[in-house]
Amino acid sequence: MPAGGCLFVIVGTDDKPIYQAEFPEARSQRREDTLHLNQLTVIHAALDMVDELVWGTQAMYLKQVDRFNDFYVSAFVTASHARFMLLHDARNEDGVKQFFTDAYEAYVRLLMNPFFDSGAKVPASFDQRIRLLGKKHF
Amino acid sequence: MASEAERKKVALRRLGDATFSKVDKVSAELFSLTYGAVVTQLLKDYEDVAAANVQLEKMGYNMGVRMVDELLAKASLAQCASFSETAEVVAKVGFKMFLGVNVEVAAATSSEFRLLLSENPLAEFVELPEECSKLEYSGLLCGVLRGALEMVQMRVECSLLRDTLWGDEVTEIRVLLKERLVEEFVDDDE
């Protein structure tokens, strides 16, 4: 993840990760695997915070839920308890909130597709939509 | 002559609008999600896209043979003089009444017509996954047309030529007139 970049992960209702994307898209593959693993671990750890925080608020956007060194983790929980996690290294609360709201809309459209069930592969159109949002907000 | 046909089209469109306003309605989302659930369940049960296509068409047929009665009861229609007039009635009154969409007729002759659906309430939200790319998601409509027209003495063959779900611009259904059925009376005594 380059400076100013973000890693976006959707964790489904049944605790399985169903989607992940990086903005801006990683150009080189170097050290990708190890880097990725570390970042995913940070997000994974933050999930516990989310599960705690979610009962204390009415809002879906939980703001920043965790930080690790100079990484921040922001979260958004949908009505069906799918969790949107975003790892970022720049403070950008409004942008993140906007991004989450738009991503939620795309996610709802995805859920309305009768051929989609969590566990299935996310169609390319959803990926495109999210990447567009990523470009717009970050 | 052309203006005569135009006038008929306008009258039919008005009739379609009037009939549509008379019938009960359900939420479009409830409708498309229900249909989606039916299609995916068929795919699960038959485990084969081609078999699901056949079933959808059959289901449509069984609906069509009933729906035509409702159409004739709710809309006051005169007898069609030609097959192309039938096409206009199907598009402007039938589709409008049951689906609330405006359908265009193309390439209407005395034995064939094509219906162009620019919007399809059945397929809202749907994206076909790769393994189902041959699925005729709206094949139900073909069955409906076959069933309905059979009840008014026309044996037709319908096929889905294009579908927005396959990446086409519009959904196109071709209806081919095979034969006009003659009423047969069967003696009960035999």
Residue among B27, B48, B138, B36 at smallest CA distance from A114: B36
Q: Mention every residue, 6+ apart, whose C-beta is less than 8 A from residue B140.
A: B35, B56, B57, B59, B60, B63, B122
β-sheet bridge partners, residue B31: none
Residue among A91, A34, A110 at smallest CA distance from B126: A110
Interface test with A, best of B125, B126, B135, B164 (most A CBs within 10 A): B125
- Span A19-62, pLDDT tens digits: 888 877 655 454 555 566 678 888 888 998 898 888 988 889 99
Q: Are A116 and B36 in contact (CB under 8 A)?
A: no
Q: Which pair of tokens denotes residue A113?
A: 């597709």
Q: Mention every residue, 6+ apart, whose C-beta is less than 8 A from residue B69.
A: B151
Q: Are A87 and A7 in contact (CB under 8 A)?
A: yes
- Please state which of the ranges A121-125, B8-12, B128-132 shows the lowest mean pLDDT: A121-125
- Please state which of the ranges A13-17, B29-33, B88-92, B151-155 shows the lowest mean pLDDT: A13-17
Residue among B179, B180, B136 at smallest CA distance from B43: B136
**Sign of torsion over alpha carbons B25, B31, B35, B41:** negative
* Domains of chain A, residue spans: 6-137
Q: Give dist(CA A71, CA A69) in Å, integer.
A: 6
- Please state which of the ranges B73-77, B143-147, B149-153 shows the lowest mean pLDDT: B73-77
**How does residue A16 score in pLDDT terms, banded at 50, 70 and 90?**
confident
Q: Are A24 and A5 in contact (CB under 8 A)?
A: yes
Q: Which pair of tokens denotes residue B26?
A: 């359900």
Q: Which is more confidently placed, B96 or B8?
A: B96
B106 — phi, psi (to 5°)? -130, 155
pLDDT at site A98? 93
Nearest CA in chain B to A108: B125
pLDDT at site A32? 53
Within 10 angstroms of residue B108's Cβ, the number of other Cβ atoms is: 19
User: What interface predicted TM-score (ipTM) does this complex get?
Assistant: 0.72
Q: Are B78 and B86 in contact (CB under 8 A)?
A: no
Nearest CA in chain A to B124: A113
Cis, bond preceding A24 (omega within 30 deg of 0): yes
- Please state which of the ranges A12-26, A68-82, A85-99, B65-79 shows the lowest mean pLDDT: A12-26
Please indicate whether, in this complex, the C-beta atoms of A115 and B132 are within 8 angstroms of each other. Answer: yes
Contacts of A115 in chain B (CB under 8 A): 36, 40, 126-129, 132
For B56-92, the DSSP string reads: HHHHHHHHHHHHHHHHHHHS--PPPSSHHHHHHHIII
Please say if the pLDDT value at position B95 is more than 70: yes
Nearest CA in chain B to A106: B125
pLDDT at site B34? 95
The pTM (predicted TM-score) of the whole model is: 0.82
Tell me the fold of A6-137.
Answer: Beta-Lactamase (3.30.450)
| Count of A-B CB contacts under 8 Å | 29
**How does residue A94 score in pLDDT terms, banded at 50, 70 and 90?**
confident
- Please state which of the ranges A36-50, B76-90, B92-106 shows the lowest mean pLDDT: A36-50
Mean pLDDT computed over every residue of chain A? 84
Domains, chain B: 4-180 (3.30.1380.20)
**How does residue B68 score in pLDDT terms, banded at 50, 70 and 90?**
very high
